[in-house]
Structure 1
Amino acid sequence: MTPWIECVPNFSEGRRPDVIEAIVAPFRSKRGCALLDYRADANHNRLVVSLAGNPEPIQEALLEAAKVAVAHIDMNQHQGAHPRIGAVDVIPFVPLRHMSMDECVALAHAFGTRYHEETGIPVYFYEEAALRPERSRLEVIRHGQYEGLKAAISNPDRHPDVGEPRLHATAGATVIGARKFLVAFNVNLGTSDVRIAKEIAKAVRASSGGLCHVKGIGLALEDRGLVQVSLNVVDYEKNALYRVTELIRMEAKRWGVPVVETEVYGMVPAAALLESAAYYLQISGFSPDQVIEFKMLEMLGNNTP
């Protein structure tokens, strides 16, 4: 049976359409690698790509895209709201079908070595693929961002897992790992005071005593005159999106600011949305089996030889 994975590489480019299209091009053309979605944000100055398919063609496409990114992105000139340490900032592998988490970990380690050999970029492993317990959290590896890591990488506790203890001259470093499905979820607030977003993110995220399995930072959306609580819900089954939203809404009321809108960035499991829909509609005893499209897909799958 053919193994399937999801991969969500993040690139530090969200403002130049020609560079974005050049990075995405290998994912369009590689047979066996399905380009599900890609989104670029100018405020974050970041490109998030969602892929699915067989591990081999996805790896080949990743290497091609990484080489394009290295050729066009200079981290010494890069500015953006989102934390980052490299032109290709993070590459997570997610098991989807006929692929275990342990196999994804092995894939991340093998790919990380090859990636360094072909690009010269040092690699850190995170989440399930972390070689050091403290590096399971991405924010620990990205502490100080590119500028801080440039000096700190020479310290033994900040050495990369693959490569010499120095950043690539222009592309920085890359974090590669294996993890469960993550929902990138943003809540935009009706104020220009980024301090409020930072305080609310602190109240919500797990590391500050908030909701478990939730990471968050506060950012300014300067071109819109808004601020954003930018979240990663790393286990939506443990903390539903509606619970995260309602906590932020409650905290925002304390500051006298409204929730303007929410955003799902990239792909999201249907179950994550259905749970929140059932909550807000107050549907009693709702089951995903009641969704006709799911039932039809199940029927089609059962009829496939």
Structure 2
Amino acid sequence: MKILECVPNFSEGRNRDIVEDIISALTEVPGIRLLDHSMDPDHHRSVVTFVGFPEEVVAGALAACNRAAELIDMRKHEGGVHPRIGAVDVVPFIPLADAEMSEAVGAAHRFGAMFGVRNRIPVYFYGASALSPDRRELPDIRRGGYESLEERLKDPKWRPDAGPALFNAQSGATAVGARIPLVAFNVVLNCSDLKRAEDVARSIRQSSGGLRHVKAIGVHLKSRGLVQVSMNLTDYRETSMRRVFDEIQARAGLLGIEILESELIGLIPQAALDGRSPEYFKLKDFSDRRILENCL
């Protein structure tokens, strides 16, 4: 059975009515199964996870993302700590079960073309769906954020892969990709010093010479008066949650800081836990429903 997972990220984490409207548009599509959704006011971001057959997933992504493009205004988006380039910031397609990566790539390309044209939003393809090597990595596409997008679009090098090469002030741009399942993993430190979280993030992320397949930033959680190391583990098979957690614990310990708790955004494959219990990672709000295989 060929199943695709889709995990769109929206630049809205504070207005529950908007997020529920987006989810409602998604769940009205026949064949879509909603697995998870979350809102984060500090990141000012929502993440939705759903699965279905390939064409159903493309239809569901269009329904949800079209609604988000109508409701979210990037001109009013401020105070979030997460990098973003648009209202519909990133839309990855992930092959599951018997689906091949080529089918996720096809879904990404079909979705991106239709979404960009309908909403007049520039679309960039990343990951396995990238059309050029310099767009394969998501951080390269998001560098400079929404605020730099108008100027970047004047550069022929940054002509979008789909949609118009015009700045859409309300919606910004969207990155659409195909990839394997990743682990969105955040670790909260028991301190309020952002520089310490940034130092820990710098020490573990691949781009700074740290662990392979780890993207990490330090962020301030204003609502809690704490700091967090926010991460994407893009290949948990090579760099596991356990290795990352142990490294953060060691690095934080050298700074005299303890890990308060950690959290997952969305679902993870069972193997990502690397045989450890949720308690090992100090995971909050964890249940068996956070394991991807248990939901399929």
Show CA shifts across 1:39-84 (max 9, x none): 0000001010011111222222222222221222111110111110
2:10 match:
11
Alignment of 1:126-205 (within 5 A): 126-205=126-205
TM superposition shift of 1:150 = 2.0
Counterpart amino acid of 2:134? E
Show CA shifts across 1:168-197 (max 9, x none): 230011100100001100000011111111
2:100 match:
100
The whole-number CA distance in structure 2 between the counterparts of 1:137 and 1:70 is 24
Do the aligned partners of 1:33 and 1:51 also contact (CA within 8 Å) in 2? Answer: yes
Greater Cα shift, 238-247 or 24-33: 24-33
1:247 aligned to 2:247?
A: yes
2:206 match:
206
Counterpart amino acid of 2:4? I
1:37 aligned to 2:22?
A: no
The whole-number CA distance in structure 2 between the counterparts of 1:74 and 1:183 is 28
TM superposition shift of 1:199 = 1.3
TM-score (norm 1): 0.88
1:46 match:
45
Counterpart amino acid of 2:198? K
TM superposition shift of 1:161 = 1.1
2:76 match:
77
Runs (5+) with no aligned partner, structure 1: 282-293
TM superposition shift of 1:275 = 2.4
Do the aligned partners of 2:187 and 2:262 also contact (CA within 8 Å) in 1? Answer: yes
- Structure 1: 4+ residue segments shifted above 4 A: 278-281
Do the aligned partners of 1:38 and 1:49 also contact (CA within 8 Å) in 2? Answer: yes
Name the SS for the 2:12 alignment partner. Answer: coil
Do the aligned partners of 1:240 and 1:276 also contact (CA within 8 Å) in 2? Answer: no
Do the aligned partners of 1:242 and 1:279 also contact (CA within 8 Å) in 2? Answer: no
The whole-number CA distance in structure 2 between the counterparts of 1:230 and 1:77 is 24
Counterpart amino acid of 1:36? L
Show CA shifts across 1:90-115 (max 9, x none): 00000002211122112211221111
1:111 match:
111
TM superposition shift of 1:276 = 2.8
The verdict on how the C-alpha distance between 1:49 and 1:109 changes in structure 2, with shifts beyond 3 A counting, is same
Name the SS for the 1:131 alignment partner. Answer: coil
Do the aligned partners of 2:58 and 2:107 also contact (CA within 8 Å) in 1? Answer: no
Name the SS for the 1:36 alignment partner. Answer: strand
The whole-number CA distance in structure 2 between the counterparts of 1:278 and 1:92 is 26
TM superposition shift of 1:278 = 10
The whole-number CA distance in structure 2 between the counterparts of 1:64 and 1:27 is 6
The verdict on how the C-alpha distance between 1:21 and 1:134 changes in structure 2, with shifts beyond 3 A counting, is same
Do the aligned partners of 1:8 and 1:92 also contact (CA within 8 Å) in 2? Answer: yes
1:284 match:
none
Show CA shifts across 1:269-298 (max 9, x none): 1121252339969xxxxxxxxxxxx9xx9x
1:291 match:
none
Do the aligned partners of 1:186 and 1:230 also contact (CA within 8 Å) in 2? Answer: yes
Greater Cα shift, 161-170 or 14-23: 161-170
Do the aligned partners of 1:27 and 1:34 also contact (CA within 8 Å) in 2? Answer: no
RMSD of the alignment, in Å?
2.0
The whole-number CA distance in structure 2 between the counterparts of 1:129 and 1:207 is 22
1:64 aligned to 2:63?
A: yes
The whole-number CA distance in structure 2 between the counterparts of 1:211 and 1:223 is 30
The whole-number CA distance in structure 2 between the counterparts of 1:160 and 1:255 is 43
1:289 match:
none
The whole-number CA distance in structure 2 between the counterparts of 1:199 and 1:130 is 31
TM-score (norm 2): 0.91
Runs (5+) with no aligned partner, structure 2: 282-290
2:232 match:
232
Name the SS for the 1:275 alignment partner. Answer: coil
1:27 match:
26
Could you say which structure has the larger radius of gyration?
1
